[in-house]
Every structure is written in structure tokens, then in C-alpha cells.
Amino acid sequence: DTAVSQTPKYLVTQMGNDKSIKCEQNLGHDTMYWYKQDSKKFLKIMFSYNNKELIINETVPNRFSPKSPDKAHLNLHINSLELGDSAVYFCASSHLNYEQYFGPGTRLTVT
Amino acid sequence: LAKTTQPISMDSYEGQEVNITCSHNNIATNDYITWYQQFPSQGPRFIIQGYKTKVTNEVASLFIPADRKSSTLSLPRVSLSDTAVYYCLVGESYGGSQGNLIFGKGTKLSVKP
């Protein structure tokens, strides 16, 4: 019954590797998001996406790329991982700008 | 960009009413104001959303003055389980600049017995 799910919950990897985080929502929402929450708990939006438009936060390195195979999924691909990428990544979904439903988060640790 | 400012932390006791204010001086005409609650190791959870005046639901009230440059989240009779971080988010309806979807730094509310 989970509305927004993410896998994996924990991800430990080495610098330079490429990894993906999957996100699925079963709410029928038209918009999905990726957020990054760093060690200081500052929550920053990375991307928002619907079937028409991808909007990218200009501060996000192009090593990060969202990929949406269908309306219910928005996966996050990260190339050439760096130490500074260590954070908790949250996926969320919403209908337009109404309330966003967040996933449980993926804790990424880059060593 | 509609930047938001909130107190970093607040303390309260069980049964008290808590008011958390968020400043957003550069709020745009199409921006909504939304509040989220986050517990440790969980994703944020929607509390309430409003555009102007007052909005109330089963868990909170949101007060927005006429100039909309600030908003106040009111939690009636808090309990220990309300201990969390509360985020103020200002953003316009979809179709506008996503850069306006900005979370504040959050207010860490600690409720004591």
C-alpha cells in the first residue's frame, strides 16, 4: 500500500562508481520530484518532472540525471560519484502543486 | 526567488499551542505556502497549504496576512509526538519556474513533558 517507494533504502559505494535509485508512486500523480537532504538537513529540490516537462535545478551537476520510463516511475542516475554526493535522497510526487507525498528516502554513502 | 526564513528551533511543553512563523518577503502572486513535518529518518509529510487568510484542517491552522509576506503555522495542544522539524515551502502552481520550490531550513520543534 506504500504510496511512494524507493529502492534501495541504503546504498554504499565507492567514488567514481555509477549508481541508480529507483522511485515508484501508485497515487496516479502527474508530477514527480527528487530532493537531496545533506548532513545539515537542508532539503534541496533537484528535479521536478511530469510527462511534459523536466525542470532541473541549475545547481545540480550534470552527473545526475532523472529517467522516467512511465508516469509512475522516476529513477535517479548518478555518474562518477563523489564524496559530496553522500546524502539522503528523497523522491516525491504530487498532482500539480498540491501536497507532495515523499518516499522513505535513500541514504547514499560514498567512500 | 521566494526565499523563506524560519526560526532554527523552538521548545514547548505538552498541551501548549505552538506558533511557527515563516517569512517570505519576495513571495510571488502565484505562490502557495505549504508546511511539512519531518521526523528523523523519514520523508517530509504534508501538513497544510494555503494562499491567503486562514486555513484550518484537523491537525493545524495556517494564518496568512494580507500582504502574504509571512505565514504562521499553529499547532494546537502539542504532544510529545509533535517533536519534529517543520518546513515552510513557497512555490507556484506547476507550470512556473521550478526554482521557486524552495524549502526553508526548517524549525526543529522540541516538545517536553
Tens-place pLDDT, residues A4-39: 999 999 999 999 999 999 999 999 998 899 999 988
Residue B3: the pLDDT is: 78
- Residues B81-104 have pLDDT tens digits of 999 999 998 876 544 444 446 676
State the Cα–Cα distance between residues B74 and B25, nearest whole angstrom: 20
Q: What does the pLDDT average to over B7-14? A: 96
Contacts A98 to B, Cβ<8 Å:
49
- Give the C-alpha distances (Å, rounded to integers) separating A63 from A16, A87, B98: 11, 15, 20
Mean pLDDT of all residues belonging to chain B: 88
- Give the C-alpha distances (Å, rounded to integers) separating B82 from B58, B91, B95: 14, 25, 34
Partner A, chain B 11-70, Cβ-Cβ below 8 Å: 32, 34, 36, 38, 41-46, 49
Residue A86: the pLDDT is: 96
Query: Does the pLDDT of residue A109 top 60, yes or no?
Result: yes
- Residues A76-85 have pLDDT tens digits of 999 999 999 9
State the Cα–Cα distance between residues B23 and B64, nearest whole angstrom: 11
State the Cα–Cα distance between residues B109 and B72, nearest whole angstrom: 14
pLDDT band at B1 (very low <50, low <70, confident <90, very high): low
Could you tell me which residues come within 8 angstroms of residue A13 by beta carbon, excluding any fewer than 6 positions away?
A: A19, A81, A108, A109, A110, A111
pLDDT band at A45 (very low <50, low <70, confident <90, very high): confident
Query: Does the pLDDT of residue B80 top 80, yes or no?
Result: yes
Task: Scan for cell 524560519, then name that residue.
Answer: B6
Residue B14: the pLDDT is: 97
Query: Does the pLDDT of residue B36 top 90, yes or no?
Result: yes
Subunit contact B103:A100, Cβ cutoff 8 A = no
Inter-chain CB pairs, A–B, below 8 Å? 56
In DSSP notation, B9-68 reads EEEEETT--EEEEEE-TT--TTEEEEEEEE-TTS--EEEEEESSEEEE-SS-EEEE-TT-
Contacts B94 to A, Cβ<8 Å:
31, 48, 50, 96-97
Residue B23: the pLDDT is: 93
State the Cα–Cα distance between residues B85 and B106, nearest whole angstrom: 6
Q: Which residue type does A68 have?
A: S
Residue A20: the pLDDT is: 97
The answer to whether the CB of B88 falls within 8 A of the CB of B105 is: no
Quote the radius of gyration of chain A (alpha carbons, Å).
13
Extended strands (E) in A1-111: 4-7, 10-13, 19-25, 31-37, 43-50, 54-56, 64-70, 73-78, 87-94, 101-102, 106-110
State the Cα–Cα distance between residues A73 and A24, nearest whole angstrom: 5
The closest of B70, B88, B56, B81 to B26, measured between CA atoms, is B70
